[in-house]
Amino acid sequence: MILTKIKNLNYLLIFLLILLSFIGAAGLYSAADGSYNPWASRHLIRFYVFLLMAIVISVIDIKLIYKYTYLLFIFSVLLLISVEIIGVLGKGATRWIRVFGFSIQPSELVKITIILALAKFYHDIKFENIKKISFLFFPFLILIIPFAFVVIQPDLGTSLSIIMLGAFILFVAGVRIWKFLLGIMATIISIPIFLQYIKPYQRDRIISFLNPESDPLGQGYQLIQSKIALGSGGASGKGFLQGTQSYLEYLPEKQTDFIFTLIGEEFGFLGTTFIILIFILLIAVCYFISIKCFHTFGRILVLGVASNVFIYVFMNIAMVSGLMPVVGIPLPLISYGGSVMLSIMISMGLVLNVEINYNLKKLNNA
Amino acid sequence: MFYSEQKKQVSTYNRRTFFLFLLKLSLFTAVGWRLYNIQILDSSKYKTLSKKNQIDLEILFPIRGKIFDRNKILIANNEKVYDLYLIPENTKSINNTLNDLSKFIDIDFTKRRKIIDLSTKVKKFEKIKIFENISWSTLEKIETNKYKLEGIFIAEDYLRIYPYKEVFSHLLGYINKPNEKELALPFIAKMPNLDIGKQGLEQSFNPELVGKAGQREIEVNSYGRIIREISKIDSVKGKEVILSIDARVQEYAINLLQSHRAGSINVINIKTGEILCMASTPTYDPNKIIKKPNTEYWETILSNTLSPLTNRSIQGLYAPGSTFKMIVAIAALKYGIINAASTHSCTGKIEFGDRVYHCWKTNGHGKMDVTNAIKESCDVFFYEISKKLGIDKIAEVAEDFGLGKIFDISMSNQKKGIVPTKKWKKTTLGESWYAGETLISGIGQGFVLTNPFQLAVMTSIIASNGKIIEPSILKRDKINFQTNEKYSKEINIIKKAMFKVVNENKGTAFKSRIDDIKFAGKTGTSQVKTISLSERESDDFRKKEQEWKNRDHALFVGYIPHDDPQYAISVIIEHGGSGASTAAPIAKQIFSYINKLDI
C-alpha cells in the first residue's frame, strides 16, 4: 500500500527540490569563503531530514489531513500567539519559538494551515454560495487572525505575503472580481493609516527603498551593495568562489536573504535566470497537479502551496534587485534557515500527497 | 442541475488557475527584465564599481569642545597631529611595506609583530593605526615617498593639549579610550575609538564636550586613494565649556603650593558662588598621560605615596582644627550657652572625667570672652562651651554651614567627610558617645573631618552673613542667594572676632595682615599625632624638629575685604606645622595677588 504510494510519487518535483537545495548549498559554500561550515553542510543535512519528512507526509491518508485541518489551523495560531506572549514577557520582538531544541517560526507554519483551512472551506461549500458575501466572512477570519499577530510581531514581509496568499486563493476559488478591486482600493486607502503604525525601522526601509541615497549607510547601503554584486556578475558571472563583494563583507546577510545576489555575482545573468526557471518549473508542476485533481480540497491546497512558493521567490528577488523594499524574505531552499525550509518541505509533502490521491471523489467518510 | 454546477465550477477554476499562472509568469518576467537591466545592460557600470572601487564608510569623529577659564583663556585645547595608517589589503606583503617604511621611521620587532598580528584579526580593507603623532620631519619623508609605500597613508587627528600642564590636572582630568562600561554611554555611540574624559570636568562634561559624529561614504580605489565622496554628514564640534576658574589665580596658587609637599588652596567668589581657584598638590601633567607611551609616567604617578591623582580640595579629608571654632561659637551663642560678654578662665588645661585637656598655650590665656577666644584660638574656652552644648547641636550648626555636604559642582568623587553625632557613632562604630569626645570635637579634632573645599564654602557663608552659597565651577552671572536669617546675630559677633585674628595684636594671624585692604580669617592647626604625656612634659616638644609625616597640618580660612566680603579662601598645607606660620601667609599672598588683578 505505502510502497505503491511511494512508487506513484512525482519524482520530477522531488528532483527539482533536490536541485534547488544543491544550488543553495553551493551558494552557502561560497558565502563561507569556500567552506562547508558553518552553513552548507547543515543546509544539506536539514534538507534530507525534511525531504524524508515530506515523503512521510505524502503517504498519510489525505482524509485524515482533511478531517483535522481546522484543528491544525487552530494549533498553529496558538503557537503564533504563544510567540507573541513569550516575546512580551522576554521584552522585545521575537518571531521564534524553541521546540525540542529547534527554533521554529510559527508564522511560517501558519501559512500552510491557512492554505489547508481555506482549501477545506471551499471544498465544503456549494459553488453558488461562493458568490455570496456572507460566505466571505469565514475565509476573512482565517486570514485576519494570523495576519494580525504577524503584523504586531512586527514582520512586514510575512504579513504582506499572507495577504497576497489569501488573494490568490480566493481568486482561484471563484470569488467575484469586483470584490478584489474593492479590496485593492481599501488597501490603498489604508496605506497612510498603516504607515502611522509601523515601527520606525520599517518606515526607514520604505523610505530608503523609494530613495536609496537618503540613507546610503543603512538600508540603502544594502541595496547599493546588492546591486553592485548582481551587476558586476554580468552575463556569465565571475565564476564559482570568485565573487569579491561578498568576500569583502560588503554584502549584508549574504547567507540568508541576500544569497541570490551572491549567486548572481558568481554565476551572472545565466545563473539567476536558471534559478528563476527552476522555480517556474516547480510552480508549473504544482499547477498541473492542481488541474488534474478531482476534489476542490486538493486543487486549492496545491495551488496555495504553489502561490506560497511564488510569493517567497518573487518577493526575495524583487527585494534584492531593488524592485521592492527590503522586507526580510528568504529564497526558499536556497537561503540558509531551517524554519522556511521546514515549512516549504511540509507543504511539498502535502502536494505529493494530493497527487497520489488526485482521483478521490469524497474526503469526508474517513 | 448539480452536475452542471460542478462543471461550471471546474471551468471557472481552470480558467482562473490559468490566469493566475499567467500573472505569476508576467511577474517573473518583470523580475527577469530587472535582472537583465542590472546584469547585462548596466553591468559595466557595476563592474567598475565592484572591481576598482570599493565603497568605504568612514565615521567622522567630532572635535572635542575646548575648555576656557573665566577670561576665555584656553586651558584645554586640541592640536592637529598626524597619524600613520596601514591598509593590509592594499599591500602586496605587509612585511615588505614595513621594511620600506622602516627607512623613515623606527619599527622595532614587537611593533612589527603587533601590526602583523592585528592585520590578521581585522577585515582586509580596514585601516590599522601604526603610528600616532609622528614628527614633522618623518611626516615629510613619508609624504614624499608615498608612492613607494603601498598601503600606507597619513591621516590628521587631534590631540588634546593642556597648555597649563599640571596646573589644572585635578580640575580637568584627562581623556582616554572608553572602557567596556563607558561604551554604552549614548554620546559615544558609533565611536568606540573616540577618547573621552576619564576624570574631573573632562568626564563630567563629556556629554557637552564630545559633540556629534559625522559620517562619510567614499569610493576608494585599490590603492586606497579616495576617488569620490558619495555622501558626507559633517561632525558637530563639541560645545565649549567656560569655567569660573581664573587661570592666573590657579597658576599662582599651584606655584605657592609647590614649595610644600602637599596641600590645597580654594578660593570662592562669595557674591556669585563661582570657584575662582581649586588647587591641589602634588599634581600631575595630563599631557604626559595622553601621549603614548605613558607607562613610565603612570608608574611614577602610582608609586608616589602622596598620590598625585587625588584632588585634595574635594577628596582630602582633614580635621578642621581651630577653623571649626567658628561653628562651635555660633552654636554656643545661638543656644544661649554664652553671650558676647561671657568669659571663661583659661589656665592652660582643664580636667574632665579622668583626662586632662590641654590648651595650645601651656601657661593659659587667662580670662577669655568669645571674641578673644577666637582671636587667640583659646582651646580651653571651647572645651568649656562644647561641654555644655553637646555634640548634636554642634553638628546641626556645622551642617547649616556646608560641612559634611557634597556640592553640585560637576565633580564626582567628592568626599563628604564626617560631622559626628551621637547617632552617627552608634550606627557606624556601634559605640556610645563619650562626653570627652565632645570636647575634642569642639576644637575641630577627633572624629570631625572636612575637605578643604567645604571649609571655603563654610567661610563664604559666614562672610556673607548666612547666605546659602551654591558654589559653581562654571562661569555665572550675578546670582541672588537666599539668606539663612537663623544665625545673623551670631555671625556678626564671629566676624568681628575673625577680623581681630588678622588685624589685632595677639591675633594668631596678625603677622599676615594686609594694611590697605584688610581681610579676616581664622588659623587652624590640625593635630596628626597624639602627643604623649612624656613628650608634653618635656615642654620643648613644639620646638623640636619633628618627622615630616608627624607634623601638624596647617590651615587657614578667611575672606576679603573684611567689610564687604568678595572672596573666601581655604588653605591647607599637609604637615605644614602651624596655621599661623604656614597657611596664613599663603592666604595673604593669594589675597594680595587677587587685589592686583582685574577679575
**SS3 helix, strand, coil % of chain A, rounded to 5?**
70, 0, 25
Residue in chain A nearest B42 by alpha carbon: A231
Quickly list H helices, B443-583.
452-463, 488-503, 533-537
Whether B364 contacts B391, CB under 8 Å: no
Residues in A touching B12 (Cβ below 8 Å): 127, 174
Residue among B359, B374, B398 at smallest CA distance from B558: B374
- Pairwise CB contact (< 8 Å): B17 & A172: yes
- Pairwise CB contact (< 8 Å): A314 & B12: no
Q: How many CB atoms lie within 10 A of CB B11?
A: 10
Cell numbers for B120, please give them.
590578521
Q: For residue A63, with 0-12 CB atoms within 10 Å meaning exposed, 13-18 middle and 19 or more buried, which class applies? A: middle
Mutate to test the interface with A, among B13, B22, B126 (most CBs of A within 10 A): B13
Q: Cell 587625588 sits at which residue?
A: B310
- Whether this model's ipTM surpasses 0.95 comes out as no
Cell numbers for B76, please give them.
584645554
Strand pairing class (B241-242; B67-68): parallel
Residue B126 — very low, low, confident or very high, per pLDDT cuts 50/70/90?
low
Residue in chain B nearest A267 by alpha carbon: B39
- Pairwise CB contact (< 8 Å): B31 & A273: no
Q: How many CB atoms lie within 10 A of CB A11?
A: 10
pLDDT at position B220 is 63
* Nearest neighbour of A174 by CB, restricted to B9, B51, B55: B9
Each residue's pLDDT tens digit, A293-315: 999 999 999 999 999 999 999 99
How remote is the C-alpha of A173 from its chain's centroid?
Answer: 20
**Between B254 and A91, whose confidence is greater?**
B254
pLDDT at position B397 is 95
- Pairwise CB contact (< 8 Å): B24 & A310: yes
Mutate to test the interface with B, among A172, A226, A290, A307 (most CBs of B within 10 A): A172
- Pairwise CB contact (< 8 Å): B38 & A217: no
- Distance CA(B342)–CA(B339), nearest Å, equals 5
Residue B495 — very low, low, confident or very high, per pLDDT cuts 50/70/90?
very high
pTM: 0.59
Beta strands in B119-243 (DSSP E): 128-131, 152-161, 175-176, 196-197, 214-220, 226-233, 241-242
**Between A92 and A363, whose confidence is greater?**
A363
Nearest CA of chain B to the CA of A231: how many Å? 4
Cell numbers for B288, please give them.
604626559
**Between A77 and A182, whose confidence is greater?**
A77
- Pairwise CB contact (< 8 Å): B49 & A272: no
Residue B140 — very low, low, confident or very high, per pLDDT cuts 50/70/90?
confident
Q: Is A57 helix (H, G, I), strand (E, B) or coil?
A: helix
- Distance CA(A280)–CA(B27), nearest Å, equals 11
Residues in B touching A227 (Cβ below 8 Å): 38, 46
Q: Does B1 touch chain A (CB under 8 A)?
A: no
- Give the type of residue at B328: V
Q: Is the pLDDT of residue B49 over 80?
A: no
Radius of gyration of chain A (CA): 21
- The packing angle between helices A40-59 and A338-356, to 10°, is 30
Each residue's pLDDT tens digit, B450-459: 999 999 999 9
Rounded average pLDDT over A72-77:
94
- Pairwise CB contact (< 8 Å): A217 & B217: yes
Residues in B touching A321 (Cβ below 8 Å): 31, 34-35, 38
Longest dimension (CA), chain B: 135
Cell numbers for B593, please give them.
595677588
Which helix (H) or strand (E) covers residue B557, if one does? strand B553-560
- Pairwise CB contact (< 8 Å): B49 & A283: no
pLDDT at position A228 is 84
Q: Is the pLDDT of residue B116 over 70?
A: yes
Cell numbers for A4, please give them.
505503491
Whether B478 contacts B272, CB under 8 Å: yes
Which helix (H) or strand (E) covers residue B246, if one does? none
Residues in B touching A224 (Cβ below 8 Å): 55
Residues in B touching A231 (Cβ below 8 Å): 38-39, 42-43, 45-47, 49-50
How remote is the C-alpha of A83 from its chain's centroid?
Answer: 19
Each residue's pLDDT tens digit, B315-348: 999 999 999 999 999 999 999 999 999 999 999 9
Strand pairing class (B343-346; B152-161): unpaired
Residue B394 — very low, low, confident or very high, per pLDDT cuts 50/70/90?
very high
- Pairwise CB contact (< 8 Å): B49 & A217: no
**Between A175 and A71, whose confidence is greater?**
A71
Under 8 Å CB-to-CB from B588, ≥6 apart: which residues? B512, B513, B514, B519
Q: Does B231 touch chain A (CB under 8 A)?
A: yes
- Distance CA(A186)–CA(B207), nearest Å, equals 48
* Nearest neighbour of A230 by CB, restricted to B5, B13, B38: B38
- Distance CA(B168)–CA(B154), nearest Å, equals 32
- Distance CA(A1)–CA(B404), nearest Å, equals 92
Q: What is the DSSP letter of B553?
A: E
Residues in B touching A268 (Cβ below 8 Å): 39
- Pairwise CB contact (< 8 Å): B21 & A287: yes
- Pairwise CB contact (< 8 Å): B40 & A248: no
Does B282 sit behind a cis peptide bond, omega within 30 degrees of 0 on the bond before it? Answer: yes
Whether B348 contacts B362, CB under 8 Å: yes
Residue B539 — very low, low, confident or very high, per pLDDT cuts 50/70/90?
low
- Partner A, chain B 532-591, Cβ-Cβ below 8 Å: none
Mutate to test the interface with A, among B23, B24, B40, B87 (most CBs of A within 10 A): B24
Nearest CA of chain A to the CA of B117: how many Å? 19
Bridge partners (DSSP) of residue B280 are B264
- Distance CA(B579)–CA(B574), nearest Å, equals 10
Residues in A touching B221 (Cβ below 8 Å): none
Strand pairing class (B275-281; B128-131): unpaired
Whether B83 contacts B134, CB under 8 Å: yes
Cell numbers for B262, please give them.
602637599
- Give the type of residue at A251: L
- Distance CA(A58)–CA(A171), nearest Å, equals 27
- The packing angle between helices A106-124 and A137-151, to 10°, is 180
Cell numbers for A274, please give them.
536558471
Q: How many CB atoms lie within 10 A of CB B101?
A: 24
Residue among B247, B316, B321, B245 at smallest CA distance from B280: B316
Please give the full DSSP string across B318-340, using - where no structure is assigned. Answer: B--GGGGHHHHHHHHHHTTS--T
* Nearest neighbour of A174 by CB, restricted to B12, B217, B231: B12
Q: Cell 488526485 sits at which residue?
A: A358
